[in-house]
Structure 1
Amino acid sequence: MQDAETDDAPQTRLIDHLIELRSRLMWAVAGLLLVFAALMPFAAQIYNKLALPLISQLPEGGRMIAIDPAGGFFVPVKLAFFTAVFITAPWLLYQAWSFVAPGLYRKEKRLAAPLLVSSVLLFYAGCAFAYFLVLPAVFHFLTQFTPEAVQMAPDLGKYVDFVLVLFLAFGASFELPIALVILVALGWVTPKQLREWRGYAVVGIFVIAAIITPPDVVSQLMLAIPMMALYEIGIIASRFVAPKKVETEGDAEP
């Protein structure tokens, strides 16, 4: 009888984990749908706000066009959904954390919680940087080189796709300090090695900026320069999670 109960224990724990996972997914989806439903009446206003960096650079009276007949409806709805994901990101991460946290050690919890909060804040900072600084500069640069005989009338769907990709690129790029801290915490690299690889990192940053940004110098520089600063921040932050013995030895070496 005792052996049967022992054999059933792993299955029981698996079922409990699946029930907990289902509960967390339901809470996450419910929060997302609630915010999405609340944003739906304001979908057009959200699009107008997002389009402001481009509209402000167009000649007076310049407007966007909708190539798809249903684009005027579906594109703002699509934007409202992604805005809901953006707003509920902390809630979604909280549900994921609540599911994973019971299986972590106390030391892992102390490290993971600040990393999760910092990653969300850095992603928001990257998106804000792209909206308030990068987009106006990029569109100003592009419109300056548009011939006078050409009238710019961007498609609203392609504009949203362009902006969302740019937001994702800058938001993900601003996670660089988190990536460095995790690598050091795992023991794969040391802060001393990160300092020594600074030159290679700068080259890699400019290559990444050239790949994920539009083909203009302005956006590439506006991504590369913050990433270089974030690399230095990552080196400083990684010293707090590096094993003391490794960091002391690294500083002691010539």
Structure 2
Amino acid sequence: MASKSKVPPNEMSFLDHLEELRWHLIRSVLAVVIIGSVAFLMKDFIFDTILFGPKKMDFPTYRFFCKIGTFLGVDSDFCADELPFTIQSRLMAGQFSAHIWTSIWAGFIVGFPYVLYEMWKFISPGLHPNERKYSKGFIFTASLLFFLGALFGYYIVAPLTINFLGGYQVSQEVTNEFDLSDYVGKVRISVIACGLVFELPIIVYFLTKIGLVNPEILRKYRKISLVVILILAAVITPPDIISQVVVALPIFVLYQISIYISKRVLKSEAKREAKLAKERAKNKS
């Protein structure tokens, strides 16, 4: 029996588009599940090495800040022998549940480029041919920004948060014994939130393409954006000025890069429109 030929995107009905989206989502979920299954089997590495890494004082971030404190001649909490808290599981299914959900999120993080690829395959038929040819570059750039953000969250935001909250006490009578799900959640949100925040240039690129933002708007609201960035940094970091500046600085740099990207997009669009107008004028003559 002959296979059914693929319907051109401009001839597809709304239900056809939904069916197409469904299969892209199914393949994305399968990729996450497969990678998550591999992560599930790597329990010791995922938990002992990665998740509980920021709990140990030999973590690279702590050693780095300890050396800075030693160089400046000031006492630093980053030079302690161990963090003054323990992790426990108070639910019978707590450890198994943490294992399952951590594996799923690991599958999403590692499989992010493929998920992005599937989403791009769904929207790319609606783009112009000259825009579609940049798909590979888009996927690489968006994936690179996500992984850079994830690394920033893991090596900067997560250890700063854990070090501050893990050592914070209102009284010596109170000991810090954190639940496993709470600790894992702090590391997870630091990694994924920073990964998504680092996608700001990509978001601005598409918002500029559809006409919602432009360089003038981004420059006009730069001061307001700086305040929002500082508030965001205060939310995802401990309440000390050094941690907030460390987190806010790369986000503000990304905002500046986004202004440049928006400018380049408008310049490219203007060239394309001028070229089309020239071709139309030539055809009329």
Q: What is the TM-score with the length of structure 1 in the denominator?
A: 0.78
Deviations 1:24-72 (A, max 9, x none): 3343233222222222211243122212212437847964100111112
Match of 2:203 in 1: 179
Structure 1 residue 215, shift from structure 2 partner:
5.1
Cα shift readout 1:83-141 (whole Å, capped 9, x = no counterpart): 01111111122122223322322143246654443222212111110111222222223
What CA distance in whole angstroms lies between the structure 2 residues aligned with 1:82 and 1:144?
A: 27
Give the AA of the match of 1:131. Y
Trace 1:14-163 onto structure 2 (pairs within 5 A).
14=13, 17=17, 20-48=20-48, 49-56=50-57, 59=82, 63-110=86-133, 114-146=137-169, 147-163=171-187
Change (3 A) 1:246 1:99: closer
Q: Does structure 2 retain, via aligned residues, the 8 Å contact 1:58–1:152?
A: no
Is the Cα contact below 8 Å between 1:126 and 1:171 reproduced in 2? yes
C-alpha distance 23-168 of structure 1, shift in aligned 2 (>3 A): closer
- Name the CA shift for 1:246/1:195 in 2 (closer, same or farther; >3 Å): farther
Long gaps (5+) in structure 2: 1-7, 58-79, 272-285
Aligned residues: 237
Give the letter aligned to residue 65 of structure 1: Q
User: Could you tell me the TM-score, scaled by structure 2's length?
Assistant: 0.70
Match of 1:213 in 2: 236
Query: What is residue 63 of structure 2 aligned with on the other side?
Result: none
Q: Equivalents in 2 of 1:209, 1:62: separation in Å? A: 24
Contact 2:87-2:183 at 8 Å conserved across structures: no
In structure 2, the CA distance between the partners of 1:192 and 1:220, relative to structure 1 (3 Å rule), is: same
How far, CA to CA, are the matches of 1:215 and 1:161 in structure 2? 15
Gaps of 5+ in 1: 1-8, 248-254
Q: Contact conserved, 2:164 with 2:238, CA < 8 A, in 1?
A: no
Provide the C-alpha distance between the structure 1 equivalents of 2:165 and 2:84, rounded to a whole number of angstroms. 18
The DSSP-based 3-state class of the residue aligned with 1:216 is coil
Identity %: 29
1:195 aligned partner = 219
Amino acid at match of 1:71: G
Deviation at 1:16, TM superposition (A): 5.3
Instruction: Find the aligned partners of 1:102 and 1:175 in 2 and give their Cα distance.
Output: 23
Single out whichever of 97-106 and 123-132 deviates more from structure 2: 97-106
Superposed displacement of residue 168, structure 1: 2.8
Q: Is the 8 A contact 1:55 1:62 kept in 2?
A: no
Change in 2 beyond 3 A, CA 1:194/1:209: same
